[in-house]
Amino acid sequence: MKKFTNSLKKSLCSLSLPRRKHAPSVNQNVISASNPCLVDDSALISISERGRSLQRQEADNHLSAGDSSKNSDRTQPSEAHDVAKSAAAYTMQGVQLVLPFAEMAADSFPLAKPVVSALAKILEIAERVMENKEKITEAITRLGELVEMVDKADQSIQRLWREHGLHLVNVLECLVKMRDQRLITATLSSANDQVLVRAYATRIDKIMQDFEFEVVINVGNTTHSIEGHVMDAETRRELERLPFSSEAEYKKGQQTRKRTSCLPGTRQSVLNELDAWLCDRDDFRVFWLNGMAGTGKSTIADSFTVRSDDRGVVVASFFCSRDYESARDIFRILPSFAYQLAFKLPAYRVALASMLQNEPHPENLPLEMQLVKLILDPLKAISAIISSPILLVADALDECDHLRVFSLPFIEILLDHVADLQGVQLKVFLSSRPAQEISTAFKFDYSLRRHQQMRLHEVKHDDIRHDIMIFVDRKLQELQRRNQTFTFSPDDVSLITDTAKPLFIFASTICAFISGSDTPARSSPQRQLKNALSFLRSGTLSTDAQSATTALDQLYRKVLVNAFMTIDPQEEKYDDEKRAHEALVVVASILLISQPLSIRTMAALLGDPYDEDLIQEVLQDLHSVITGATVGPQPMRILHASFQDHMTTHSRAHPKFYIDPASYHSLLANRCLQHLVDMLVQDNPLGLDVGEDYNPQELETRIQDDRLRKAIPTLEYACQHWSYHLSRSGSSTDPSFTHALKEFTSQCLLRWIEMLVALGRMDRAMPMISSARESLSELKCTTFTVDTELLADLGRMVYDAYDTISESPIQVYISALPFLPRQCALYLKLLEL
C-alpha cells in the first residue's frame, strides 16, 4: 500500500496536462501505470487529432467500395497504422488491427460450403486487426448457419437464395482480387484498404438482410421455421440495445421455482373467461386481473401464458418480481415485449431493427414513445400479415419500483392507445394487487369502455373452495408418498381449505409448514399437522379476503414463534435471544437484498458471525416461507411477497419480529462498503498498483485467479448495489456506517471504477454516483459534505472519460486521472494517500 500511495503522489505531482473530454491514446505495447504522462502535450494532441481523423474516416464505412477511394487523402496509410496500433495497446487488446477474407474455390456455387470456408481463411489472415473483427466474425458465423439452413430447405427458399448467393460470390471475387494484389495482409496498413474491406463486409450484411426480408414477404408464416437462422448480426446488435430484462422472462420464474402453473382441474372458470376475451376480436384490448396478495394471480398468469402459446398465439411476457432489479423496473416492460416479439415475428423484427438504427438511445425513451416506437409502429408496418392476436402479459405490476410515480402514466398510456392496439390485433393482460396507484389509473375508465377487469378475490366462493381443496389434498398426498407413516383425513383438508379461502398462499404456506424442512426438523410432519390443526381451530374461519389476510398474518407469526420462541403461559419469550437476533438479521437481508444471493455469498457479505452454518441453521425452521436455505449456488428467496409485507409492516408483524427496512438497509449498505474497502484496498484484486509496469495481456489472467473468482459474487454485489441500500437507509445511519463510507470515498473510488469496468458494468457508475450524492444530500448533515464532493468529482471524471475508461481498468489512471482539475477535492485527496 505504501508503494502505491508514494507512486501515486509522484505521478499526480508530475502532471500538468490540460483537461479533455476523451483522453488520447498512448503509443506503446507495455503501459507504465507509474507515469501516465509518457509523451508531451504536443505529441498527445497530435495523436488525438489523428485518432479523430481516423474516426471521421471510419464514419464513411457504409459508402460503396468505389466511393471510398475519394477519402484517401484524409489519413495517410502510415498514420492509420500508427493510430490503430496505438489504440490497440491503449485499449489493452493487443496490437491487432482490422479486417478479414481470402481465397475461394473456383468451382464454388452460391450455396456451396467452400464459400464459407474461403471466408474463414481470409478472416484468419487479418484477425490481428481489431476494429471491426467482431462484426465480421459474427457475419461469417451467421453466413455458415444460413448456408446450412438453405442446403436443407425446400426448393422455394433455395430459389430465393440463388440470386442473393450470386451477389455474395461477386463480393468474394473482389476480395480475392485484393488478396492477390497483397492488399489484404496481416497488417492491412492502408486506411483506404481498411475502408474498402469494411465496405465489402457491409455489402455482405446487406445481401443477407435483403434475403431475409424477401423470405418474410414471400413465405409468410413459414418463416417461423427459419427465424433463428436468418437474423443477421447487425439486427441482433440493434436488438441488444433495448433495455430488456431476461430476469422477468417467463422461463426465469419456472427455473427458480418461484412460480408454477395451476394444477389440472383448478381455476377453470377464470382461465376460460381469459380464453374467451383473447379470442374475441371485438372485446376489450386491455384486461386487468386484480386480487389481494396470495389469491393466485401469478399462477393464473403463468397458466394463461402457457396455454395461449400452446394454441399458436404469439405471446410476450414480463413477470415483475422484487427479486431482481431489472424485473421491477417498469421502464423495461415494453422494451422486453419488443425484444421477445422480434424473435417470434421475423417481419416485425425487420421493422423494429430499422427503427432502432435511427434511435441513438433507445434506453432513454419515455413510456409513451416506447409503446409507439417499439411496439405499435413496427406492428402497423406488418399489420397486413398479422392473422391472429398478439398477447402481451405483464404480471405483478404492483411489485415494480416507484409505483406511485410511474404506474398511473403506464396504464393511462395503454388505455389511451386502445384504438391502435385494435388495429394491430394486440391484447394486453395485466395482473396486480388492487393497489391505490394502479386502481386510480383504471378508475379513469370507470364505465369500462376501454378495459375489462376481474377481481380475483370476488370469484364465486364455491369455485375458490373447490380449487383450494384440490391443491391442499394434492400437497398432503405428495407428503404421504414421501413419508408413508404420515396420515390425514378429509376433515383436515376441509379445515385447512375453509381457513385459507380465498388465499392460495395461506394453503401453500401451511402445507409447507406441515411438510417439515429438508434439514433435521424439530417435529415430524405428523406432529406438524397436529400443531397446525390446533392453531387453525383456535382461530376463526375466513369469511372474506380481509379476514383471510388476518389469518395469514397469524400464520406467519406462528411460523416465526415456533422457530425462535418458547411458549410460556404468561408470555412469549425468545428460546435463544442471540440466535433470534441473528435470525432476524439474516431474514431481513434476504427480504431487502437487491437480488437473491446464495448462502455462501450472503455469509461473505454479512461477515462474522454469519457463516454458512449459522445461516443454514437459523433458516431450517423457516422453510415454509424461505426457499434455497441449503449450501450451494442456489439463491435464497422468500416464497411469496406477502411475507415481506407482513414482516415490514409494523401493524401486522409480531412485535419481536418486526423488520424496519431503513435500519436494515443501513446495515447492508455498511456491509457492502466495508467489503469493498477490505477487498479493493487491502487485496487489490486486479493488481493495478501504480508504479508497476503493466502488460495489457495480463488482465484476463489476473481476473481468472482462483482467489478472485471465489470472491467475485460478493464483490460484484457490493460493487453494484451499495448505493441502492444507501438510498433506502433514510436517516438510519450509525457510526460504523459513517466510518465505512468515509473509508470508501477516501480510498476506494478509483478501485471501485476499476472493478465496474472489469465486471462489464461501467453503465452503473453514473446512476450509482448520482443516487449516492442525492441520498447524502438529503441527510442534511455536514458530516458527509466531503464525501459528497468526492463523489461529485468522480462523477465528472467518469462522465468526461466514460468511453475510454470503459475499454479497460488501466484507463482510469492513464486517460482519466491525468485530466482531473488540480484543485478538486478528489485530486487533493489522492495526493494525501
Residues contacting 216, CB < 8 A, separation 6+:
223, 346, 347, 350
DSSP-assigned states of every residue in 619-664:
HGGGTTTEE--SSSSPPPEES-HHHHHHHT-TTTS-TTT---HHHH
* Local structure of residue 263 (DSSP, 8 states): P
In a domain? residue 766: yes
The one-letter code for the residue type at 498 is D
Amino acid 133: pLDDT: 55
Amino acid 792: pLDDT: 96
DSSP-assigned states of every residue in 268-301:
HHHHHHHHHHHH-TTS-SEEEEE--TTSSHHHHH
Provide the pLDDT confidence category of residue 317 given band limits of 50, 70 and 90.
very high
Which residues span the domain enclosing 337?
A: 250-456
**Which of 217, 239, 261 delimits the end of a domain?**
239
pLDDT tens-digit readout, 238-269: 999 999 999 999 888 777 667 789 999 999 99
Residues 357 and 336 in one domain: yes
For residues 298-324, average pLDDT: 94
Residues 323 and 190 in one domain: no
pLDDT tens-digit readout, 730-769: 876 678 889 999 999 999 999 999 999 988 899 999 999 9
Residues 324 and 262 in one domain: yes
pLDDT tens-digit readout, 97-141: 222 222 232 233 344 455 555 555 555 554 444 355 555 566 666
Residues 230 and 265 in one domain: no
**Which of 456, 482, 513 delimits the end of a domain?**
456
Mean pLDDT of the chain: 76
Residues 193 and 278 in one domain: no
Amino acid 59: pLDDT: 37
In a domain? residue 548: no
pLDDT tens-digit readout, 26-55: 333 333 333 333 323 333 233 233 333 433
pLDDT tens-digit readout, 528-573: 999 899 888 887 666 566 777 888 999 999 898 888 876 554 556 6
From residue 756, alpha-carbon distances to 93, 686, 695, 793 in Å are: 18, 11, 20, 17
Name the residue with cell 462484426: 135
Helix (H) or strand (E) segment spanning residue 443: helix 436-443
β-strand pairing of 637-638 with 626-627: antiparallel
Highest mean pLDDT among 60-69, 128-137, 211-220, 572-581: 572-581
Provide the pLDDT confidence category of residue 327 given band limits of 50, 70 and 90.
very high
Q: Is residue 619's pLDDT more than 90? A: no
The pTM assigned to this predicted structure is: 0.68
Residues 208 and 346 in one domain: no
In a domain? residue 569: no
In a domain? residue 809: yes
Percent of the chain scoring above 90 in pLDDT = 41
d(CA 84, CA 97) in angstroms, rounded, equals 6
Residues 119 and 50 in one domain: yes
- Give which of 391, 289, 394, 396 is closest to 344, Cα–Cα: 391
Residues 350 and 204 in one domain: no
The CB density around residue 625, as the number of other CB atoms within 10 Å, is 25
Question: Cell for 226?
Answer: 427459419
d(CA 615, CA 298) in angstroms, rounded, equals 29
In a domain? residue 271: yes
pLDDT tens-digit readout, 418-440: 999 999 999 999 999 988 888 88
Residues 295 and 225 in one domain: no
**What is the CATH number for 398?**
3.40.50.300
Amino acid 222: pLDDT: 46
- Helix/strand/coil for 244: coil
Question: Cell for 659?
Answer: 423488520
Residues 157 and 103 in one domain: yes
Helix (H) or strand (E) segment spanning residue 669: helix 661-676
Residues 114 and 50 in one domain: yes
* Local structure of residue 317 (DSSP, 8 states): E
**Which of 427, 456, 485 delimits the end of a domain?**
456
In a domain? residue 97: yes
In a domain? residue 607: no
> What is the domain count for the chain?
3
Residues 82 and 229 in one domain: yes
Amino acid 160: pLDDT: 66
Amino acid 28: pLDDT: 33
In a domain? residue 653: no
